[in-house]
Structure 1
Amino acid sequence: MKLSSLGLALFLTTVSPALLPGFAPVAVAQQKQNITLEDIWQKGTFSAKSVPGFNWMKDGRYYSSLSKGNLVQNDVTTGQPVQTLVAGQDLKLAGQSQPLQVDGYSFNADETKILFSTDTEPIYRRSSKAFFFVYDRAAKKLTPLSAGGKQLYASFSPDGKRVAFVRDNNLYVTDLATMQETAVTTDGAFNKVINGGTDWVYEEEFEFAQGFQWSPDSRQVAFYTFDETEVPEYNMQEWGPLYPKDYRYKYPKAGEKNSVVSVSVYDVAAAKTAKMDVGAEKDQYIPRILWTQTPNLLSIRRMNRLQNKLEVLHADASTGKTQVVLTDTDKAYVEVNDDLRYLEGGKEFLFSSEKDGYRHLYLYDMKGKLVRQLTKGNWEITSIDGFDEKKGLVYYTSTEGSALQRHLYRVDLKGKGKTRLSEAGRGTDAVNLSPDTRYFLNYHSEAGVPAVVSLRSGQDGKLVKVLEDNAKLREKLGQYNLATPEFFTFKTSEGVELNGQMLKPVGFDATKKYPVLMHVYGGPGSQTNADSWGGTNYLWHQMLTENGYIVVIVDGRGTGARGAAFKKVTYANLGKLETVDQGEGAKYLATLPYVDKARIGIWGWSFGGYMTTLALTKNADLFKMGVAVAPVTNWRYYDTVYTERFLKTPQENPQGYDDNSPVQHADKLKGKLLLVHGTGDDNVHFQNSVSFVDAMIKANKDYQTLYYPNRNHGIYGGNTRLHLYRQMTDFVLKNL
């Protein structure tokens, strides 16, 4: 059966997954194929398609993308190319016969110039360096941005006349008319001072790496300086050559010294730098800077080290004088996001807060006086996606429909006219709104159903065109023995209702007893149990159901989308209630007539690895086995920003660190454990697994370990994932 684009989109968002290709009745399931690890990790059998390289252009009617070495302009209403903006053959330097191998690009504001990047080299999770080139579209001229080595974060000024970038921990500005390069700072040095970028912990936990911003009028550049001289170094060995190489970098573990952070503004015309007054306290965080819509006015967010007080400062960029205009506090912690938006006209700004128990939108005047609360209810917004200045409309994603789902809504600045723009029905929508809000790209998926990418109207959410329906993937999935995800809830012995998801083997027989593997992450504000396409772990879980296992996910206390009280109840005792709830999940499953209560296992990665080691020790009688990948085993080993947000410092709360450290409970281990870690993990250090192994040896406990040389926290590259999941699969089959 073939459907039109409109019919297809409506079909996907309204029918049950059981009626989609890939969810055939049990009666014919035995004729289908079984998933293999090679399908998931080597052949790309189940790779979902998207709309690659999508970048909105200033006219919301078009987007640009790289295609076969060319930069192409596409019509969003058809998805078809309308013109070649830059031919790959034009990207040649003088005297060179071959064009650049471009891996990224960005336009200036009027789209007359383009920054192309080549030979991009990743550093940590969000940082990378590359060679950048400036392309003048009118002259068809390509010019290297700098001859001094690779650059980071190269960015056009809004007027397109200059480019700022970072090299060797210093900030530079290049005048494109003369290609004259000016060093804004000169004191940058590795492991000492960073200008224009962030240190490791800001990049990882505050989720940004570029540490400078152009002012809207292009006259100034605001930038960070990190003095990390006093931050202790962590040393990782890089294995391979005859003598392993040391890699030392600044990593502030809980309770240790952080970087001293300052904010300055460079006046381009005057070639002068003014330092902003962020207060006398050095042991604090500056997690965001943002130019307002008012000339010469910079917004700075400041937090105390315990992160339970967030202040919005307005700074005079010329003098550095600051004023606190808004303060948000919490008994536990305040989280940082990108919801702060300054409105045109310089009179008001949007801000989100959990102060009424759920994250909602608030409108303030520039002096910090509350104008009104724009959204309210026992649900929360998860992002601000766009703003229509002319009509005064805020676009946001929220959990109003269900804590398991995400949908797009719109509300005006009076808090009226709230409209759901996502289609009615289940699932999760992730959106990419055009700058003028005329259109949005919608990525809609459901549990067990891969994403449909569609273009929709920003006015009413109506479908314009399906750009990618993943029909081939759904057809492919229909050839395999796939279980239908089932959502459920249960109440713990304390009366707490928890959400769960279950995959039962195809051909499930309620009169039989099945082993269960639970999957957990469980970190503060996270959500593993969601009505969305589950990706590779979902496919691996499906493979396990083909081997006769039930796979279950339970989101316990501390996870997100259910309000501040549910999330922050774990404060200062990280791991305690979360472990209780995974145990309660196992106890609930044990009451089901088709579950073999003697064969319940658990696995997780990162925080989920931490939860797995705790489950196997503190709940040793409930779990037969577990697989812990890259786990934290002692929060004293993890970084300041994340750990202290939820536990305070170890000096203030030593019991919170020690009482729920798996290292302290190694002697309770009974089940089979596979412990996995990458030796090059710059995030959760290999030290965590070494410490836990040492504790198990002292307790005379048996275990299995699997380490991956030089692999980072993601443990990937080449055959790595295939190898890892083969070992995990074998361990489950042998021990559960």
Structure 2
Amino acid sequence: MLFLRTRGPEDPVRCLWAYDTTTGREELLADPRAFDAPPAGTDDVDRVRRERSRDHSAGISAFVTDADARRAAFVLSGHLFLLADGFTRLGAAAPASDPRFSPDGGRIAYVSAGALRVIGADGAGDRAVAEPDGPDVTWGLAEHEAAESMSRDRGFWWAPDGDRLAVARVDNAGVPTWHLTDPARPDAVPRTLRYPYAGTPNARVSLFIAGPDGRVEADLRAAEYLVDVLWDDTGLFAVTQDRPQRTMRLLAVDPESGASSVLREDTDHAWTTIVPGFPAHTADGALLWTVDDGDTRRLTVDGEPVTPPGLEVFRLLGVDGGTALIAASDEPTQTHLWTWNAADGLVRQTTEPGMHGGILRGGTLVVTSSTLDGSAVAVRPSGGGGTGTLHDDSAAPDVSPVVRLIRAGRSELPTAVLFPAGHNPGSGPLPVLLDPYAGTAVRRVVASRAAYHVSQWFADQGFAVVIADGRGVPGRGPRWERTVHRDRADAVLADQVEALHAVAERHPEMDLGRVAIRGWSAGGTLAALAVLRRPDVFHAAAAGAPVTIARLYSSHWQERYLGDPDEDPQTYERNTLIADAPNLRRPLLLIHGMLDDNVLPVHTMRLSQALLEAGRPHTVLPLHDASHMIARPETAEAVLTYEARFLREALGL
């Protein structure tokens, strides 16, 4: 088994390791510091890929292997490396990205300068399969919306026989152009970004089958979005969505002619949900898909549900022969592993309360577990022989979260509560800090200690911390997710107020006269919204990277929930904060990375301008070296310290 891990608790550089599942022996295969390559993130494609995947690490961030894991390939700072009998730096075009072995392991396809290329595993025969045919065209890369919103981070797929490739052609010519400038480097050229925001043209994405005799275009039936592609022994398939995302189709594509037929069409009055990992086939060709059945998202095999009502399917983690491995749960604060095959049916693989992930290959199951007691990686080899555990060098954190998980209010909102270390309920009133995300992509309230280190640190600054997952947050079924259709502001805010008051009834030491809220991204939007629209409840806020103008956010993401801004501009106005600026009468801290290409800095700048013109004092903390994620630990630590100081002073502590 191959895996990535750093060499110590303070080391951010990921290395490639091997683990012998029969002996439990570990071996270091590749330390990036031993290679003659510039630092990670020096080429733009690598930087964008790390941003889309929220990858804070340095070193090797991803690798691929051939079918037997005898060879491994990875990109380091734009250069393609091969591990077989020792390491070889292949003479691939640089900067290279996203290498993928052919099924026989003899060739590697990769992308460089917007072109899809293939090189032999021996370093010979590097050639272009498809090259840009326009200044705004790329081949083999996922466009912004696919990588950020659709869970598709790739743009090409090998045929099972290795003779051809399916490749996405992306034309960004019609997409709005934005520019990001680092104000601390006035000598630097601004970065140009193609960013489709709500109501504006998307990238034109088409699918071609490329082979020795040329290319043929697949008929995607005028779909707006290419969600995913699957090419296996069963055939070539494409998943598409229309622009409103109310229709999702599974198309069977003829690789010879490009003609397509509709195998399945799912519709929903609000939106159809992309479930990562699907579609897939078992070894005997059975189709794995999902169906939204009332309050449950269920796994289907050839159209028949095989998971019970109440067991929510989150992701397909892989297929090993006839066995599918899924992440699912009947409890919104947990994720568990289940396997399904025709012989054994549905079998639960994890039971300890927590967040479990994994991978299944060759009969060996690897389980990654994060619980309220800690984290571990267990290896269950095929054929039995006992469970092994990967060595973990993680240092004990400076804070040790003590988390109380409850259901709060009439809606039974999953809620986490944290107090200062050594808190005595009779020691006096405590100010309250809400620390939500409350977005539709991430559950914050989970049975995992790793999720609460920052929250516990804030608690140790003298707060009772409350985290609540309200309407729209995954884990409680399709109907619950769609309760935020056309309203991602007032309904979401109301849930935070409900959770706050419900928790305070249980813990009377909470001082509802001193309530602050903080958050980032969707949580930042909610924090700013809270002090603007409910100053009677919230007395201070720190809002990081907030979306303040609904129309200026990502098209695929925003239109899913709010619809077409030209058809329903009132919905976008209700979910925009600019008009609320004159209502501010509480301390508000706005934080934004000036290089943020997900929630662009325009959101904070325009809200700040509106507050200034309305005569409303506020504080803005610009981060010149940060994007949507704060990669530098020194900056992240300084921001948290500043936030804590700001909120304490705002509440008069």
Q: State the match for 1:442 in structure 2.
A: 367
Q: Residue 393 of structure 1 corresponds to which residue in structure 2?
A: 323
Q: Give distance in 2, aligned partners of 1:470 and 1:88.
A: 19
> What is the match of residue 283 of structure 2?
344
Query: What is the CA–CA distance in structure 1 between the aligned matches of 2:122 and 2:338, rounded to whole Å?
Result: 44
1:635 paired to 2:559: no
- Residue 388 (structure 2) aligns with: 465
1:429-469: CA deviation from partner (whole Å, max 9, x where unpaired): 22233x1133x22222223x321222235789x96133346
Once the two structures are TM-superposed, the CA of residue 350 in structure 1 deviates from its matched residue by 0.6
Counterpart of 2:473, as a letter, is T
Alpha-carbon distance in 2 for matches of 1:721, 1:697: 27
What is the one-letter code of the residue matched to 1:343?
A: T
Give the whole-Å Cα distance in 1 for the aligned partners of 2:477 and 2:407: 17
Counterparts of 2:609 and 2:626, CA distance in 1 = 22
Contact 1:407 1:430 in 2 (8 A): yes
* Aligned residue type for 1:323: S
Contact 2:367 2:379 in 1 (8 A): yes
Match of 1:53 in 2: 4
Query: Are 1:454 and 2:378 counterparts?
Result: yes
Residue deviations 1:109-167, cap 9 Å, x none?
A: 3445443533x2xxxxxxxxx11144553xx6835232x43212222211122221212
Q: Which residue of 2 aligns with 1:329?
A: 267
Question: Which AA in structure 2 matches 1:583?
Answer: V
- Answering whether residue 232 of structure 2 is matched by residue 292 of structure 1, we say yes
User: What is aligned with 1:320?
Assistant: 258
Shift of 1:560: 1.1
Instruction: Give, in whole Å, the separation in 2 of the partners of 1:672 and 1:512.
Output: 24
* Residue 91 (structure 1) shift: 8.1
Shift of 1:386: 3.5
> Counterparts of 2:380 and 2:139 in 1: how far apart (Å)?
41
Residue in 2 aligned with 1:117?
A: 75
Aligned to 1:106: 64
Q: Kindly indicate whether residue 91 of structure 2 is the aligned counterpart of residue 145 of structure 1.
A: yes
1:188 & 1:223 partners in 2: Cα distance?
14
Instruction: Return the letter of the residue paired with 1:464.
Output: T
Q: Is 1:593 matched with 2:508?
A: yes
Give the CA deviation at 1:241: 4.3
Corresponding residue for residue 308 of structure 1? 246
Do the aligned partners of 1:510 and 1:593 also contact (CA within 8 Å) in 2?
Answer: no
Q: Distance in 2 between matches of 1:605 and 1:171?
A: 36
Q: 1:253 deviation in Å?
A: 0.7
Pairs within 5 Å for 1:229-248: 229-248=173-192
Q: Is contact 2:19–2:26 with CA below 8 Å preserved after alignment?
A: yes
How far did 1:632 drift? 0.5
Aligned match of 1:13: none
- Alignment of 1:584 onto 2:526: no
1:332-378 superposed Cα distances (whole Å, 9 cap, x missing partner): 111222121122244x21101224431111111xxxxx3x2111212
Partner of residue 76, structure 1 = 21
Q: Distance in 2 between matches of 1:632 and 1:469?
A: 38
Equivalent residue letter for 1:291: W
1:503 match = 418
CA contact (8 A) 1:379 1:403 kept: no
- Please state how far the C-alpha of 1:254 moved relative to its aligned partner: 0.5
Q: Tell which deviates more after alignment, 68-77 or 257-266.
A: 68-77
Within-5 A mapping of 1:437-586:
437-438=363-364, 440-447=365-372, 449-456=373-380, 464-468=387-391, 473=396, 482=400, 484-491=402-409, 495-505=410-420, 506-510=422-426, 512-535=428-451, 538-586=452-500
User: 1:275 aligned to 2:222?
Assistant: no
Contact 2:90–2:123 (CA under 8 A) maintained in structure 1? no
Q: CA 1:309–1:471 in 2, change beyond 3 Å: closer, same or farther?
A: closer
Higher normalized contact order (CA 8 Å, seq sep 6+, divided by chain length): 1
Q: Deviations over 1:451-507 (max 9, x none)?
A: 1222235789x961333467962xx76xx6x5621112222xxx4221211112323
Q: Check if 1:720 corresponds to 2:646.
A: no
Contact 1:173 1:182 in 2 (8 A): yes
Cα shift at 1:541: 2.6
**Is the contact made by 2:350 and 2:356 (CA closer than 8 Å) also made in structure 1?**
yes
What TM-score comes out, normalization by structure 2 length?
0.88
Q: Determine if contact 1:582/1:615 at 8 Å carries over to the other structure.
A: no
Q: Distance in 2 between matches of 1:590 and 1:710?
A: 39
Q: Paired residue for 2:115?
A: 170
Q: Equivalent of 1:155, from 76, 94, 100?
A: 100
RMSD: 3.0
* Alpha-carbon distance between aligned partners in 1 of 2:123 and 2:620, rounded to the nearest angstrom: 58
CA contact (8 A) 1:102 1:116 kept: no
| Distance in 1 between residues matched to 2:395 and 2:214, nearest whole Å | 58
Match of 2:79 in 1: 131
Partner of 1:42: none
| AA at the equivalent of 2:406 | F
Point out the more displaced range, 592-601 or 559-568: 592-601
The whole-number CA distance in structure 2 between the counterparts of 1:410 and 1:231 is 42
* 1:421-440 map, 5 Å: 421-423=349-351, 425-433=352-360, 435-438=361-364, 440=365
In the alignment, is the contact (CA less than 8 A) between 2:291 and 2:305 conserved in 1?
Answer: no
Note if 1:358 corresponds to 2:296: yes
Deviations 1:305-353, CA, capped at 9 Å, x for gaps: 111110000011011010000011111111222121122244x211012
How far has the Cα of 1:544 moved from its partner? 3.0
1:664-675 counterparts in 2 under 5 A?
664-675=579-590
CA contact (8 A) 1:332 1:568 kept: yes
Q: How far 1:575 moved relative to its partner?
A: 1.6
8 Å contact from structure 1 (residues 379, 562) kept in 2: no
Aligned mates of 2:474, 2:121 — CA distance in 1? 46
Distance 1:626 1:115, change over 3 A: same
2:339 partner amino acid: R
**Shift, 1:561, TM fit:** 0.3
- Please, what TM-score do these two structures have when normalized by structure 1? 0.79
Counterparts in 2 of 1:215 and 1:653: CA distance versus 1, 3 Å: same
CA contact (8 A) 1:92 1:142 kept: no
Aligned counterparts of 2:458 and 2:313: Cα–Cα separation in 1:
35
Distance, in Å, in 1 between the alignment partners of 2:486 and 2:413 is: 21
Q: Which amino acid aligns with 1:155?
A: R
Change (3 A) 1:185 1:595: same
Match of 1:419 in 2: 347
SS in 2 for 1:631: coil
CA apart distance, 1:404: 0.9
Q: Flag the 1:650–1:638 CA change in 2: closer, same or farther, 3 A.
A: same
Select the residue among 688, 703, 709 that pairs with 2:618.
703
Amino acid at match of 1:405: Q
Q: Match of 1:380? A: 312
Bigger Cα Rg: 1
- Partner amino acid for 2:608? V
Q: Is the 8 A contact 2:75 2:96 kept in 1?
A: no
Give the residue type in structure 1 aligned to 2:79.
Answer: F
Q: Structure 1 residues 436 and 731 mapped into 2: Cα distance closer, same or farther (>3 Å)?
A: same
What's 2:47 paired with? none
SS at the partner of 1:404?
A: coil
Match of 2:42 in 1: none
| AA at the equivalent of 1:293 | D
Give the direction of change, closer, same or farther, for the CA distance of 1:571–1:70 in structure 2 (3 Å limit): closer
The Cα shift of 1:666 comes to: 1.7
1:142 maps to amino acid: T
Using a 3 Å threshold, how does the CA distance of structure 1 residues 673 and 277 change in structure 2: closer, same or farther? same
Instruction: Name the count of aligned residue pairs.
Output: 622
Instruction: Give CA deviations for 1:681-705 in whole Å, capped at 9, x if unaligned.
Output: 1110000001111221232211111
User: Structure 2 CA distance, aligned partners of 1:248 and 1:110?
Assistant: 41
Match of 1:206 among 145, 150, 154: 150
